[in-house]
Each structure stands twice: as structure tokens, then as C-alpha cells.
Amino acid sequence: MTWAGERVRVRTPDERHAGDRAARTMWLLAPGLLYVGVRGAGVGLLWVLSLANDVPFTLQRWDAGWYLQIAAAGYSGVDTGMTDAFGMHHDYTAMAFFPGYPLLLRLVAPEIPQIYLAAAVALSTVVGVVGAYGVARLASLCGGNRRAGLLAVALVAGAPLSVAYSMPYPESLLVSCVAWTLVAALRRRWLLAGVGALLAGLVDPMGGPVIVVVVVAALLDAFRERASWDAAVAAVLAPAGMLGYLLWVGERSGLPGGYFTITSQGWGNEFDFGARTFAWAADQLSSGREAFPVLTALLCLAASVALVVTFRRMPWPLWAYTAITLALVFGHGGVVTDRVRLLLSAFPLLVWVAVGLGRLRTATAVAATVSAAGFGLWFSAWALTAQPHSI
């Protein structure tokens, strides 16, 4: 066959099959590669801003030291120089930090404290990649196409204060557990959902919302089906991790109230139904002059508006999980400057945004995603280099 004097070569079936297989492989690798690329860009930007601000470049900031020491020496072996927000150290102070992340680090890394920072960064990255595939799967379950899944990964990996995903912090592990737990719940794979919620409850207090959602959804399914034994088992499994840790802290610390007393006395964390958060945000939005708290208040406001807009527009387990997450983020009266980091747990809002962007022209969707992720990466690097208390 010729056209304008040139011979056009028709691909053989084997060549077409090889091309299709290569395309499938690229789609399979894309979420992980995209996540690593965005996080690499974020760490690189942090290094650049650290140089520009004459600040030492390090991924070991604030609570990272607690997690590294707990991983290396256990709760009883934390250095007495590690103190709470009021400069105090007790035998039980380290129990404010949940065991999931340091326990996993201790299991996979050699017991050499000098290399724990590098091992922790690698661990955070690997579990973040696992979470990226969960985020992409959630986008597809919410009606998004494959492009929407990649956009969701980019938005989550580049969210404001997503630098925590590359630090010795539990955020990447928590997002991974929650994303796959929600996937399992939407697909009614109740045993997987129950185990996922159990693990999330061992990682961080912000695992609480997914526990509630799995218990409620599993019980509803069990009552509806009447023979859904796996749903009933999931409802029992889901809270076991968090409840077990809270009971252990209460017994080991000997304090009335256990974990809640430790975090209240050491960090001022008390649930005040949002009184402090709303008063602080209103003050910043009306008369704030410093960029970081004003931007923090604006991001909190944006998340609240998005929650209202998405009502009945995303599957109810995702919306309920996000609503409970925002209630916890805004409802506690502790340090207010960490709200944006805590909002990382509300990532289903970004999944919903990505599903909407996936319906637009490719150029428009990519431009919007790059802009949003670029802002998030800049905000993360700037917060760590220019703000005394941001994470």
C-alpha cells in the first residue's frame, strides 16, 4: 500500500500486541512513578529554599525525632531531652505518638540509629507509592477515568504540607491504609476493610474516621444481607487497633484518661467543638498580617466549602469519612498551626476534584493540576524553611 510515493508499513499482530502490552505496563507504573516524581520535586524545592533562607536542609523536624527514637529504642528508651509542648518529659510522654509507623520502621530497618532517618524517608516513600495506587483506584470507583486517577495522585502528592509524606511522619502510611480501606469498603470487601481500619487505628489518631465509617457501613450491610458474616467481623476488627493501643497506654501510664490526659497536659489537645479554631481563623481572615497563618486559615475555609459542595456528590462512605476528619481537625483546641498537615487526611476532597478535572480537556486539566500541586509544594517547602511552627 502506498501514498504519495511512500510505502506505509502495517504492523503485524505480534507488534500490535507488544505495543498494547507496553501501554498497559506504562499505565500500571504511572501512579507510582508520578507520585515519586512529585515528591522528588517537593524535596528538591525544599533543598533550594533551605539554601535561599540559609537554613540547614533536613527532613527531620519536630515530631520526626519522636518517631525515630521510638523506632530505635521503644517508648521507654526515648531520650529525656525530648519534651512536650511545655518543655516537660515524663516516662509516658512518648505515648502521645501512635506505634504503627515506628513499629514498621523497626521491622524493616536495621537497628542502627544512625541510618534511621534515611530508612524512614525510604519507608515513607514506599508506603506513599502504595497509597498512590489506592488514591487512583478511589478515583475510578468515583466515576473517574484513568487520567483522573493520575490527576488525583498528583494532587494528593503535591498537597499543601505534603512534605510530611517524605519525612519520618506517619502521614503517608495513614493515607495508604485509609485509601485502600475505603476502596475495600466501596467494593464490600469487608474483611479487608476491617483489617485496613485496624491498621489505620494503630498509625495515627486521624485513623479514627475510617474506623467509624467501616463499622457503620459494615453493620448496615450485615443487617441488609442478614448473612454477611464478614461484615460483622469487620465491624469488630475495625476499632481493635486503636482501642488496643489506648487501653495499653492507660495501663502503662497509670494516668486517669490515659492517652487523652497525656496529649491534653503535654500539647493542650482538648476537643472544644472548634471554638479555638474558628476564633483563630476569623481573626486571621479579618486582621491577620502574617502570610502563613492567613494561608492556613484560607485552606481550612476552602476544605470546609469543598465538604459542603461534595455533599451527595461522592459516595457516602468517602463523604462521611471526610466530614468526620474535618470535625476532628477543626474540633480540637491544640496547636492551630498544624491544621494544614492534618488536612492531608481529607484527601478524598482532592480525589473528587481530580474526577471533575478528568472530564475537561487534557491541557486544561494538566494546567490546573500542575498549578495546584506547584502551590502545594511551594507552601510545604516555604513552611518548613521560614516558619517556626508549621507541622
Predicted confidence at residue 48, as pLDDT, reads 94
d(CA 172, CA 38) in angstroms, rounded, equals 14
pLDDT of residue 19: 54
- Over the stretch 23-35, which tens digit does the pLDDT of each residue have? 677 778 899 999 9
Cα 346–352–354 angle (5° rounding)?
A: 110
48 within some domain: no
Residue 5 has pLDDT above 60, yes or no: no
The residues near 269 (Cβ < 8 Å, ≥ 6 apart) are 263, 332, 333, 334
Q: How confident is the model at residue 2 (pLDDT cuts 50, 70, 90)?
A: very low
Residue-averaged pLDDT of the chain:
89
Closest CA to 374 of 128, 159, 163, 125: 159
Domain, as residue range, for 134: 59-386
Distance CA 295, CA 368 (A): 19
Query: pLDDT at position 9, please?
Result: 59
Report the share of the chain in percent with pLDDT over 90.
Answer: 62
| Cα 391 to Cα 378: distance, rounded to the nearest angstrom | 15
Residue with the bigger pLDDT between 6 and 203: it is 203
38 lies in some domain: no
Q: CB of 317 within 8 A of CB of 186?
A: yes
pLDDT, tens digit, for every residue of 279-333?
A: 888 888 888 778 888 899 999 999 999 999 999 999 999 999 999 999 999 988 7
Give percent of the chain with pLDDT exceeding 70: 92
Distances from the Cα of 237 to the Cα of 134, 153, 250, 265, 364, angstroms:
21, 29, 21, 30, 44
Give 220's contacts (C-beta < 8 A, 6+ positions apart): none
**Which DSSP category does 91 fall into?**
T
The set of cell numbers assigned to 233 is 467481623
In order of 39, 183, 253, 336, 372, the CA distances from 167 in angstroms are: 11, 25, 28, 21, 21
When pLDDT is cut at 50, 70 and 90, the band that residue 66 belongs to is very high
Q: Could you give the CA distance from residue 107 to residue 317 in angstroms, rounded to a whole number?
A: 32
Tell me the per-residue pLDDT of 102-141, one tens digit each, with 9 for 90 and over.
999 999 887 777 788 899 999 999 999 999 999 999 999 9
- The answer to the question of residue 77 being in a domain is yes
- Is residue 265 in a domain? yes
Q: How far apart are CA 114 and CA 265, in angstroms?
A: 31
In a domain, 13, yes or no: no
pLDDT in the model for residue 225: 66
Lookup: cell for 69? 527514637
Q: How many domains does the chain have?
A: 1
Per the CB < 8 A criterion, the answer to whether 321 and 213 are in contact is yes
Q: pLDDT tens digit string along 237-254?
A: 999 999 999 999 999 988
The pLDDT, as a whole number, for residue 23 is 64
Q: Which stretch of 183-192, 253-262, 340-349, 371-380 has the lowest confidence by average pLDDT?
A: 253-262
Among 120, 104, 320, which Cα is nearest to 202's?
104
What is the pLDDT at residue 226? 64
Please compute, for residue 288, the number of CA atoms within 13 A of its CA located in the half-sphere on the CB side.
Answer: 16
Strand partners, 2: 7
- Look at 386 and 79; give whichever has higher pLDDT: 79
Inside any domain, residue 40 = no
Mean pLDDT in residue range 195-224: 94
pLDDT of residue 58: 87
Check pLDDT > 80 for residue 153. yes
Q: How confident is the model at residue 388 (pLDDT cuts 50, 70, 90)?
A: low
Determine, yes or no, domain membership for 7: no
What 8-state DSSP symbol labels residue 168?
A: T
The pLDDT value given to residue 3: 44
For residue 271, give the DSSP letter: B
Angle between helices 190-203 and 229-237 (to 10 degrees): 0
| pLDDT score of 185 more than 90 | yes
pLDDT value, residue 72: 87
> How many Cβ atoms sit within 10 Å of the Cβ of residue 341?
25
Helices of type H across 254-361 = 259-267, 275-287, 291-309, 316-331, 339-342, 348-357
pLDDT at residue 6 greater than cutoff 70: no
- Whether 15 has a pLDDT exceeding 60, the answer reads no
The confidence score (pLDDT) of residue 390 equals 63
The answer to whether position 54 is within a domain reads no
pLDDT value, residue 139: 96
143 burial (CB, 10 Å; 0-12 / 13-18 / 19+) is: middle
- Which whole number is the average pLDDT over 340-366? 95
pLDDT at residue 10, as a whole number: 55
Are the beta carbons of 236 and 243 closer than 8 angstroms? no
